[in-house]
Homo-oligomer: A and B are copies of this chain.
Amino acid sequence: MTSPEPGTGTHPGTSTDPIRVAVLGAGGKMGRHAVRAVTDAPDLELVAELGSADSLQKVLDAGASHLLDLTVPQISPENVAFAVQNGLHAVVGTSGWSAERRTRLREQLADHPQVGVLIAPNFSLGSVLASAFAAAAARHFPSVEIIEMHHPDKVDAPSGTAVRTAGLIADARSEAGVGPSPDATTHDPDGARGALVDGVRVHAVRLRGLEAHQEVLLGGPGEQLVFRHDAFDRGAYMPGVLLGLRTVASRPGLAYGLDAYLDLG
């Protein structure tokens, strides 16, 4: 039997329970992509689609085993608490899950030791892998900088992914005892050197035509190593969503970040 393209759908789930998915926020941009991806995956079953006006009871009525939360920060914690309370596993792509919220969720999960929850700030496998590898490699190079590039309708700079990548890099370098990147700049009147995030220079480009892209540049004597990730459209997030849905039942407790489900050593 030939194997399918990874991330496109047909490999078996990691749980023997059937994966019956309820999508919350099904009418949003991510939601619509997710509805299609779950529907197309042979080992997943879409049992409910909820919009903002729907009652959570619909999830139970449909017999869902998994909840996929793609809503808004205001109601995501309530949705997830409902899932845990009812023994459903949850995969969460909604933002706004502060450390405090995650602590409260961990407390609730302590009483439901068989339930798994994944909260992923970024569902792109490529982005998560690039950040993790860049951090691992950054221990070996004197210089590191980040360039993130997005469409010009984005209101904040730098991107959340760039900030998280800078943090991972800073942690790895600190642990390895690597000092700051060398920089002799003494004259930069207009701020061309960009932002300093956890000691790492981050540059934000905004360009019509682009979607979401990031480069981590590592430099040492006579060589450069570049990790580049391009997310061309929201389809980029679906393999990560499916991986989350297939894996969460076998990982009780709270996982924060898709990294936890990838074999990154």
Chain A residues near B (Cβ < 8 Å): 2-8, 11, 124-127, 129-130, 133, 136-137, 139-145, 147-149, 152-158, 162, 176-179, 181-197, 201-211, 217-239, 262-265
Which B-chain residue is minimally distant from A4 (CB atoms)?
B179
Is the pair B178, A6 in contact by a Cβ cutoff of 8 Å?
yes
Which B-chain residue is minimally distant from A142 (CB atoms)?
B5
Can you report 6 residue pairs joining A to B where beta carbons are below 8 Å apart?
Answer: A6-B178, A125-B140, A125-B223, A126-B225, A145-B205, A181-B207
Question: Across the interface, which residues of B come within 8 angstroms of A197, CB to CB?
Answer: 190, 192
How many monomers of this chain does the complex have?
A: 4
Question: Across the interface, which residues of B come within 8 angstroms of A158, CB to CB?
Answer: 188, 190, 192
Known A-B contacts A142-B5, A220-B125, A220-B126; the reply to A228 vs B230 at CB < 8 A is: no
Is the pair B145, A206 in contact by a Cβ cutoff of 8 Å?
yes
Is the pair B202, A207 in contact by a Cβ cutoff of 8 Å?
no
Which B-chain residue is minimally distant from A188 (CB atoms)?
B157
B177, B204, B228: the one contacting A3 at CB < 8 Å is: B177
Most buried by B among A6, A194, A223, A234: A223
Question: Across the interface, which residues of B come within 8 angstroms of A156, CB to CB?
Answer: 185-188
Is the pair B142, A7 in contact by a Cβ cutoff of 8 Å?
yes
Is the pair B222, A235 in contact by a Cβ cutoff of 8 Å?
yes
C-alpha gap A103/B158 in the complex (Å): 44
Is the pair A192, B194 in contact by a Cβ cutoff of 8 Å?
yes
C-alpha gap A205/B183 in the complex (Å): 10
B7, B224, B263: the one contacting A221 at CB < 8 Å is: B7
Is the pair A209, B232 in contact by a Cβ cutoff of 8 Å?
yes
B139, B206, B226, B233: the one contacting A226 at CB < 8 Å is: B226
C-alpha gap A197/B232 in the complex (Å): 28
